[in-house]
Amino acid sequence: MDILQAVVELLKVAATDLPDDVEQALASALSKETGALPRSALSATLENICAARKDARPICQDTGVPIFFVTAARGTSYEGMADVLSEAVRIATRVVPLRPNAVDSLTGKNSGDGVGPGVPVIYFKEWQQHYHIIDLLMKGGGSENVGATYKLPDPAMGAQRDVDGVRRAVLDAVFRAQGRGCPPYIIGVGVAGTKDDAAVLSKRQLLRRLGDKSEVNGVSRFENEVLSEINSLGIGPAGLSGNTTALAVKMAVHARHPATFFVDVAFGCWAHRRRRMRFGDGKAEYE
Amino acid sequence: MSKAIALTAPLSLDQVRSLAAGDEVRLSGIVVTARDAAHRYLVERDDSDGMPFDLGDGVIYHCGPIMRRVGARWEAVSAGPTTSDRMEIYEPRVIDRYRVRAILGKGGMGPATVEALKVSGAVYLAAASGAGALLARKIVSIKRVWKLEDFGEPEAMWELEVRDFPAIVAMDTRGGNLYAEVERRSAEALATLRGKRFGG
């Protein structure tokens, strides 16, 4: 198999088949809901996941913006990789099919093939190994639109420049999102000294498996406590009330400038199209 | 929640007025998709531009589907709802001008739409968020498409025939609003959480 074919397959798997940890978390959420509305929303969600897998059709019609996080084999050129990824998006848009989602921001013209300036989004680094790891997020517009960046301190939220301030920013973002981004959400939090770094960091947290634990001191405790606070807001599946507003909170923290403190909150919708491919020696493995 | 109420579009004013927030419905008949670009168009267009459908007593679906050509026909591949609140700046004028009886979408809409639903006699129906694969199976045929070239596939207006399409009445003709209730209660919960500190 060549890498182009392998990436087309990665896009197809991501769009049509939800990762097992997310599906399990949704099934477990259903068992914790008692209200008719949240139960009905989660049942439709689970039924939809099965329908998509069975028919090999996209789980959600918004197949999103493909965001590739590439860890490239030693000696790989960025340009070559970027060409492969863009071409794979064009092919997948035709054959899966994906929705052509690249629109000229000023004229509104849809390119028709899913590719445009800056789309797909590619983050690229090289490492010493002889194989590639390509992580893919297909990020829907609904959940992207409810994401938010905060600059601390923020007097209105009572948020100072500390871990409690981060907590307040996350709770505020979820409250403002209500049900507009397709809850239950997966919440990524990035804390950093520049707003671009905070934004990429929060996005990267959406690649983590729901059950993984941060090794960084205190972060895991923060994630668990804030998750339970988010779920006490009662927004619920589809925003129609209930106990499950988020499935996970995932945070990472970088150093900051003494004067700056950015908190970026990224939302993944329940249809969390996250897949990883390891590609080497003409063989692809997906997880 | 009782058994689902069967609705067939076009809908009558009396039928729509009998619905209450929280009711579960199964919708059959004709719905027309319209999202961001189509809403602006519906507000700005000239009556004589040849738009090939009548939205009176009809259902507008906030949806940007994935469609596939099969021979001479179109087929819906994945077609769940998009977030409705982006249409808030146009929706009251669309409801008023075209006398639509139902808006089908997700996530709810703002106060201007709540008011328009009351004045015109229309409801907001919540379709299952993100359930594109499941809901595409409820589309039995695609009647036609309008503005495909100008707006592109997601933004074009697709006239669809649906059968037993599941939805929940989330905003009714009397101001009943499931989302407003959730927001009010979550605001109270947030205020309580702001009274605490992390680790405190």
**Would the pLDDT of B2 be above 70?**
no
Please give the share of chain B, as a percent, with pLDDT higher than 70.
Answer: 98
CATH 3.30.1330 segments of chain A: 3-14+59-140+273-286
Chain B environment of A30 (Cβ under 8 Å): none
Chain A environment of B187 (Cβ under 8 Å): 175
In this prediction the pTM is 0.96
Do the chains contact at B1 and A97, CB–CB below 8 Å? no
Q: Which CATH class is domain A3-14+59-140+273-286?
A: alpha beta
Cβ pair A20, A276 in contact under 8 A? no
pLDDT at B1: 46
Do the chains contact at A57 and B78, CB–CB below 8 Å? yes
- Catalytic entry in B35, B39, B62, B101: B39
Best CA proximity match to A58, nearest among A26, A93, A27, A86: A93
**Both tokens assigned to B164:** 């037993």
β-strand partners of B146? B157
Chain B residue closest in CA terms to A110: B152
Q: Show Cβ contacts of residue B155 under 8 Å, excluding neighbours closer than 6 positions.
A: A108, A110, B35, B36, B37, B38, B64, B147
Rounded distance, CA A164 to CA B194, Å?
Answer: 10
Chain B environment of A45 (Cβ under 8 Å): 128-131
Cβ-count burial A64-95 (b if 16+ within 10 Å, e if not): bbbbbbbbbbeebeeeebeebbbebbbbbbee
Min distance A73 CA to chain B CA atoms (Å): 35
Cβ pair B167, A240 in contact under 8 A? no
Find the angle CA(B25)-CA(B27)-CA(B31) to the nearest 5 degrees: 140
What digits encode the pLDDT tens for the residues B64-113? 999 999 999 999 999 999 999 999 999 999 999 999 999 999 999 999 99
How many domains is chain B built from?
1
* Chain B stretch 96-155, residues whose beta carbon is closer than 8 A to a beta carbon of chain A: 106-108, 126, 128-137, 151-155
Chain B residue closest in CA terms to A269: B130
Chain B environment of A141 (Cβ under 8 Å): 82-83
Do the chains contact at B129 and A179, CB–CB below 8 Å? yes
Active site annotation includes B39: yes
**Would the pLDDT of B199 be above 80?**
no
pLDDT at B79: 98
DSSP string, chain A: --HHHHHHHHHHHHHHS--HHHHHHHHHHHHH--SHHHHHHHHHHHHHHHHHHHHT--SSS---EEEEEEEE-TT--HHHHHHHHHHHHHHHHHHSPPP---B-TTT--B-SSS-BTTBSEEEEEE-SSSSEEEEEEEE-HHHHHT-EEEES-BGGGTB-SSHHHHHHHHHHHHHHHTTTT-SSEEEEEEEESSHHHHHHHHHHHTTS-TT----STTHHHHHHHHHHHHHTT---GGGSS-S-SEEEEEEEE----TT--EEEEEEE-SS-EEEEEEEETTEEEE-
* Chain A stretch 133-172, residues whose beta carbon is closer than 8 A to a beta carbon of chain B: 140-142, 145, 157-158, 163-164, 167-168, 171-172
**Both tokens assigned to A191:** 């804390």
Inside any domain, residue B200: no
As to burial, measured by CB atoms within 10 angstroms (0-12 exposed, 13-18 middle, 19+ buried), residue B52 is: exposed
Do the chains contact at B189 and A52, CB–CB below 8 Å? no
Out of B170, B193, B197, name the one closest to residue A171 (CB).
Answer: B193
- Biggest alpha carbon distance in chain B? 66
Rounded distance, CA B36 to CA A25, Å?
Answer: 33
> Measured between CB atoms, does B77 come within 8 Å of chain A?
yes
pLDDT at A79: 97
Inside any domain, residue B17: yes
Domain that holds residue B104: 5-194
Best CA proximity match to A115, nearest among A87, A138, A84: A87
The DSSP bridge pattern shows strands B66-70 and B73-78 to be antiparallel
Q: With a cut of 50, which residues of chain A have pLDDT below it?
A: none
Best CA proximity match to A246, nearest among A19, A22, A47: A22
Number of other CB atoms surrounding residue B21 within 10 Å: 21
Find the angle CA(B86)-CA(B68)-CA(A88) to the nearest 5 degrees: 85
- What is the dihedral sign for C-alpha B83, B86, B89, B91? negative
Backbone angles phi, psi at A181, to 5 degrees: -105, 20
Q: What is the CA radius of gyration of chain B?
A: 18
Rounded to two decimals, the ipTM of the complex is 0.94
Min distance B4 CA to chain A CA atoms (Å): 12
pLDDT at B200: 63
Inside any domain, residue B46: yes
Chain A residue closest in CA terms to B193: A229
Best CA proximity match to A185, nearest among A265, A242, A270: A270
Out of B63, B66, B131, name the one closest to residue A44 (CB).
Answer: B131
Question: CATH no. for residue B102?
Answer: 3.20.130.10
Best CA proximity match to A96, nearest among A58, A141, A69: A58
Residues in chain A: 287
